[in-house]
Amino acid sequence: MSATIRHMSTTIQMSEELGPRSGWGTAIECPMASMFEILGTKTSYLIMREAFYGATRFEEFVERTGISEPVAAARLRELTAEGLLEKVPYQEPGQRTRSAYELTEKGSDLLPVLVAMMRWGDRWLFPNGARVELTHAECGAQVRAELRCDAGHPVPTDELELGLNPRRRAAR
């Protein structure tokens, strides 16, 4: 008995002006590569996950992620330097002033990325369902990330096109 393997094509089309991808070389500005420079470690993603789950204090990040204090300190420093989190002073009665970490607008914009990663993990790594799921509080349906254009239309993968950014072209 042989298994049937189904392959779906999810290839982004290139506009004519980009020509073949092989002609770009490797020294091209890439938002994805730049993002991985900032969030390239598992611990960075875990800290951001916990920030979305409400963690603000150093001890919470250490406890909830299971990473060591030195690694948590390094990642929090990096994420703060990149503007994803900001340090906000707080003080418990009778204690010294300490820093809490809060999401910035830049950090908050990562939520759809993390939701997409969570849903991918739910589908492919936990076929019987993960321990938690993200739902819409109002109706109870699962939340998912989806591709939409700025005009609000859902965009199927076969309608994606990669082209030169007109704002960058005009700035030359």
Tens digit of pLDDT at every position of the chain (172 positions) = 444 555 556 788 888 877 777 777 666 678 888 899 899 899 999 999 999 999 999 999 999 999 999 999 999 999 999 999 999 999 989 999 999 999 999 999 999 999 999 999 999 999 888 889 999 999 999 999 999 999 999 999 889 988 888 877 665 5
| Tokens found for residue 166 | 């007109």
Crossing angle of the two packed helices 42-52 and 69-81, in degrees rounded to 10: 80
Q: Which residue has the tokens 């979305």?
A: 52
How many helices (H) and strands (E) would you count in the chain?
Answer: 7, 4
pLDDT of residue 11: 80
In this prediction, residue 20 carries a pLDDT of 75
Q: How far, CA to CA in Å, does 34 sit from each of 13, 65, 96, 106? A: 22, 24, 37, 14
In terms of Cα–Cα distance, which of 56, 62, 67 is closest to 99? 56
* Predicted structure pTM score: 0.82
Q: pLDDT value at position 166?
A: 82
* Distance between CA atoms of residues 53 and 109, nearest Å: 15
B/e letters for 29-66, b = 16+ CB within 10 Å, e = fewer, are eeeeeeeeebbeeebbbbbbbbbeeebbebebbbebbe
User: Tell me, what's the pLDDT at 1?
Assistant: 44
Instruction: Give the helix ranges, DSSP H, for the chain.
Output: 31-39, 42-52, 58-65, 69-81, 105-108, 111-124, 166-171
Asked whether the CA dihedral 17, 23, 27, 33 is positive or negative, the reply is positive
